[in-house]
Structure 1
Amino acid sequence: MQRVIRILVLVLILGLGGLWGSAWFGREAGEPLGHSFMRQIAALTGRETAPPAPATGIQLPAGMNMGGAFTMLDQDGRTVTQGDFGGKLLVGYFGYTFCPDVCPTELGAIAAAMDLLTPAEAERATPLFVTVDPERDTPEQMKSYVSNFHPRMVGLTGSQEQVAAMAKSFRVFYAKVKRPEMSEYLMDHSSFIYLIGADGRVRALLRPQSPPEEIAAAIRAQLPRA
């Protein structure tokens, strides 16, 4: 029995060694070795790997999907879905207009990144702000708020159910926070930047406090072809 186990372990080691060797020699230009290794495994199992994340981003595990179809209201009160953005890359952020610090900082970085793109590049991307506080963030409130950051920024709100459904599909955490000493409640929420494709699926996930230059580089890497 022990001999069989030793043989199986040896076969496993040799197999992994072969995959690492294949990953090393089969790397694409600029591709990390780890991603090449996962691509080799995906090829053997028949599963697709997630697209490589930019250097500042978070690599999504192979086979993991985030995002998808959504139905919300824009800042003009119109019902919109992912299909209403004309195939453009969406640079999305989830927050709320009464946010005291984090949201303005992140939206300012996104706006600055958009301004670093060439006009042709910027035309293929749309900055998107999605509220997690539909109770206060009406379309009118969203319209006033997003206009402070970028002229092309779109604000999305909706019913509690619509917001919850979109947040769930994008794996966004949010919760109302109200303490006795507070006159208004706050919203605790995650703070990632999402690069979203035409199908509503996340193509790349950027960490909080990513500088505009790195956001712009990540956007360029994910832009749909003109």
Structure 2
Amino acid sequence: MSGPAMNKNLIFALSTALLLSACDSPPAQPPLSEAPLAGATIGGDFTLTDQNGKKRTFKEFDGAYRIVYFGYTNCPDICTPDMQNLMAGLKAYEKSHPKLGAKIQPIFITVDPLRDTPEVLKQFVSAFHPRAIGLTGTEAEIADAAKKFAIYASRMEGSSPESYLMSHSQTPYLMGPDGKPLALMPADVPNTDINEGAPNLVEAELAKWVR
């Protein structure tokens, strides 16, 4: 085969290859400089204790994206659903983007260190994601971390000394590999869209910024 016929076959083959390549490519992502929280003075290093009793710093996770959520295990109606939605979205993202999903570290930081011991946190975080890390510490250590992440937390006395509640910010952050903030995660949105084959809002937000 030679001449025009060969040229047509070559053009067709190249066009098909380019089309398949385009289909395999991920959708265009906005630059990280356009992330909603880019440039915000949120975050900073801290030293806390994980669910296994090990001292951890925020800086040791540099190189990984981090979903950071402040809450407490006795929270009656917010923290558990938020963690369910966040971790369900992360699991969906891990399924669709396994290599990128492995670069995301979920971190739960308690605002109730008096009750949320490492043992309590271990049971709590393991119910949501196998790689989730729960962090606690002294009241001063937790207050320092909360201040760096612009988290409000205040104790509300109950009917007994043990039945108090914690009023706190509902602010789940996505932090970049450099430890700086990128976006707020939509934790209060149920993970229902996955059942219909569409990405839920947590998964979609991760797809925008993780690379």
Could you tell me the TM-score, scaled by structure 2's length? Answer: 0.74
Q: Shift of residue 113 of structure 1?
A: 0.6
Partners of 1:65 and 1:174 lie apart in 2 by: 19
Local SS of the residue matching 1:97: coil
Residue 51 (structure 1) aligned to one of 15, 19, 33: 33
Residue 98 (structure 2) aligned to one of 107, 119, 125: 119
Local SS of the residue matching 1:130: strand
Residue 85 (structure 2) aligned to one of 103, 109, 113: 109
Find the counterpart in structure 2 of residue 82 from structure 1: 58
Q: 1:202-221 alignment to 2 at 5 Å?
A: 202-212=181-191, 213-221=200-208
1:89–1:99 distance in 2 versus 1, CA, 3 Å: same
Could you tell me the TM-score, scaled by structure 1's length? Answer: 0.69
Kindly tell me the number of residue pairs found equivalent between the two proteins.
Answer: 173
Local SS of the residue matching 2:99: helix
Find the counterpart in structure 2 of residue 72 from structure 1: 48
Tell which deviates more after alignment, 178-187 or 164-173: 178-187
Q: Shift of residue 181 of structure 1?
A: 7.1
Local SS of the residue matching 2:69: strand
**Equivalent pair of 1:110/1:215 in contact (CA under 8 Å):** yes
Partners of 2:129 and 2:166 lie apart in 1 by: 23
Q: Shift of residue 202 of structure 1?
A: 1.4
**Equivalent pair of 1:174/1:187 in contact (CA under 8 Å):** yes
Tell which deviates more after alignment, 167-176 or 62-71: 62-71
Partners of 1:78 and 1:208 lie apart in 2 by: 27
Find the counterpart in structure 1 of residue 129 from structure 2: 150
Tell me which amino acid in the other structure corresponds to 2:113: P
Tell me which amino acid in the other structure corresponds to 1:51: S
Partners of 2:62 and 2:162 lie apart in 1 by: 42
Structure 1 runs (4+) deviating above 3 angstroms are 179-183
Partners of 1:140 and 1:71 lie apart in 2 by: 18
Local SS of the residue matching 1:143: helix
Local SS of the residue matching 2:201: helix
Find the counterpart in structure 1 of residue 148 from structure 2: 169
Find the counterpart in structure 1 of residue 10 from structure 2: none
| Long gaps (5+) in structure 2 | 1-27, 192-199
Find the counterpart in structure 1 of residue 18 from structure 2: none
Is the counterpart of residue 139 in structure 1 residue 118 in structure 2? yes
**Equivalent pair of 1:126/1:152 in contact (CA under 8 Å):** yes
Local SS of the residue matching 1:195: strand
Q: CA RMSD in A?
A: 2.4
| Long gaps (5+) in structure 1 | 1-28, 32-49, 54-58
